[in-house]
Amino acid sequence: MKITVFAAVVATVSIAGAVWAHSGATGVVKQRMDAMMAMGKGVKGITPMMRGKTAYDPERVRAFAEMVRQHSGEAMTKLFPEGTDGAPSVAKPNIWTDRDEFNALAAQLESLSEGLAIAAENGLKQGGGGQGATMMGTQPAMGGGSMMGGGSMMGGSAMSGSATPAPEAFSEMPADVAFMMVSQTCSACHTKFRVEAK
Ligand SMILES: [Cu+2]
């Protein structure tokens, strides 16, 4: 059991390290970190609701979606001017060599956030049965249970490279499915364009 405790301490220290690195940022690097942090907080904040652990509130989903929308697309890409990698930033230099792909992921996040706002009124899959288990259920179509692995932001990138559904598709889509697509777009970009947090 001592090993478990030790591992937990190490994990805590590395999170603290990331926060410290953030506090050293200035200018456009600080601006994009602040925007990313706001989205990260947003994801954490509504994840329990998306898993059916707290009461579903479409208004909160729409507020989250709108916040993400404001930080995505061009609002995001303009905060990554050339030559702004290097400490304290953990942005990878391939942002500027694979710029089209980076921009496409930022644009995809924007469309998905708009889709999530539409999907908000649909509630959770299977009527929000209240158990996280509902999401593990019988529909592997959206990439299976990757989101349930904890830390959806750090997870795999099952959706990487996939196309964004048309706006009409979201009017039929459960909100948690749309939310999962949003968070997997975060992961897809981080996997490719952000130095792995150790
Ligand atoms: Cu930071």
Tell me the per-residue pLDDT of 164-184, one tens digit each, with 9 for 90 and over.
888 889 999 999 999 999 999
How far is ligand 1, taken at its centre, from the CA of residue 132, in Å? 31
Q: What is the pLDDT of residue 20?
A: 52
Q: What is the pLDDT of residue 127?
A: 54
| Residues in contact with 146: Cβ distance below 8 Å, sequence separation at least 6, in sequence order | 152, 155, 156, 158, 180, 184
Q: What is the pLDDT of residue 79?
A: 98
Report the alpha-carbon distance of residue 152 to residue 183 in Å, rounded.
Answer: 7
Q: What is the pLDDT of residue 23?
A: 76
Structure tokens at 144: 């299976």
CB atoms under 10 Å from CB of 136, counted, come to: 13
Q: What is the pLDDT of residue 2?
A: 52
- Helices (H), ranges, the chain: 2-23, 27-50, 58-71, 73-77, 94-97, 99-119, 167-170, 175-193
What residues of the chain score a pLDDT lower than 50?
1, 6, 8-17, 128-161
How far is ligand 1, taken at its centre, from the CA of residue 27, in Å? 12
How far is ligand 1, taken at its centre, from the CA of residue 20, in Å? 8
Handedness of CA 81, 84, 85, 89 (dihedral sign): negative
How far is ligand 1, taken at its centre, from the CA of residue 18, in Å? 7
Domains observed in the chain: 26-193 (1.20.120.10)
How far is ligand 1, taken at its centre, from the CA of residue 46, in Å? 21
How far is ligand 1, taken at its centre, from the CA of residue 34, in Å? 7
Q: Assess contact for 122 and 78: CB atoms under 8 A.
A: no
Please give the full DSSP string across 27-68, using - where no structure is assigned.
HHHHHHHHHHHHHHHHHHHHHHHHTTSS---HHHHHHHHHHH
* Cα dist from 186 to 13, 130, 194, whole Å: 24, 25, 11
How far is ligand 1, taken at its centre, from the CA of residue 15, in Å? 11
How far is ligand 1, taken at its centre, from the CA of residue 139, in Å? 36
Report the alpha-carbon distance of residue 100 to residue 103 in Å, rounded.
Answer: 5
Q: What is the pLDDT of residue 24?
A: 86
How far is ligand 1, taken at its centre, from the CA of residue 80, in Å? 14
Q: What is the pLDDT of residue 198?
A: 56
- At 91, is the secondary structure helix, strand, or coil? strand
Alpha-carbon dihedral angle through residues 66, 71, 11, 16, given to the nearest 10 degrees: -120
How far is ligand 1, taken at its centre, from the CA of residue 84, in Å? 13
How far is ligand 1, taken at its centre, from the CA of residue 196, in Å? 13
| Residues in contact with 99: Cβ distance below 8 Å, sequence separation at least 6, in sequence order | none
How far is ligand 1, taken at its centre, from the CA of residue 36, in Å? 8
Q: What is the pLDDT of residue 80?
A: 98
How far is ligand 1, taken at its centre, from the CA of residue 187, in Å? 16
